[in-house]
Amino acid sequence: MATDPYAALEAFLRRDFDTYRTLSAEADNRELARALASVFFVAMDDKFGAGSTSADIIAFVASARARFDDTGDKVDPAVAEKLIRAAAFDEDLPDGIDPQAQGSAETVLLAALADQDGWTDEHAIKLIAEARNLA
């Protein structure tokens, strides 16, 4: 039986990367991708709610890339910004976003979110619960 993908993502958001690696390796890849998209949607909607601007999104993406994309080719900034705008501002995602690029962007941006000052395990647990309810 495959591992619950949300359990893997909760470990990721709690920065327990050993557990994340173990659980994600045991999870069904398609289910993990669906769960990642759901968690990403909830997290970005939470971070970039009312009052956020495109400049806020651009700054967040740039900061995330500076910290977690050391090669500069893991995250396409245009894709990352479109994904955040779709989650936070209910914009439609354009057709043709590469699933690999989407998964990379979602992963790096969630890592950046969980690396922020004030991030707690309780916040991670709350986001996972909301994402489960959304799915």
- Placement of tokens 């890339």 in the chain: 65
> In this structure, are residues 34 and 135 in contact, taking their beta carbons and an 8 Å threshold?
yes
Q: Tell me what pLDDT residue 94 has.
A: 75
DSSP 27: B
CA distances to 20, 102, 108 from 66, rounded to whole Å, are 23, 18, 11
Distance CA 30, CA 74 (A): 20
Residue with tokens 């992963």: 107
CB neighbours (10 Å) of residue 87? 22
Distance in angstroms (rounded) separating the CA atoms of residues 129 and 19: 18
Contacts of 89-98 with CB under 8 Å at 24 or more apart are 89/48
**pLDDT tens for the 135 residues of the chain, in order:** 568 999 999 999 999 999 999 999 999 999 999 999 999 999 999 999 878 999 999 999 999 999 988 888 889 999 999 999 998 888 887 788 899 999 999 999 999 999 987 889 999 999 999 999 987
pTM: 0.90
Distance CA 12, CA 130 (A): 16
Q: Could you list the residue range(s) of the whole structural domain that residue 32 is in?
A: 5-134
Q: How many domains does the chain have?
A: 1
So what's the pLDDT on residue 24?
94
Q: Give me the pLDDT at residue 49, please.
A: 80
5 vs 10, 48, 95, CA distance in Å? 9, 24, 26
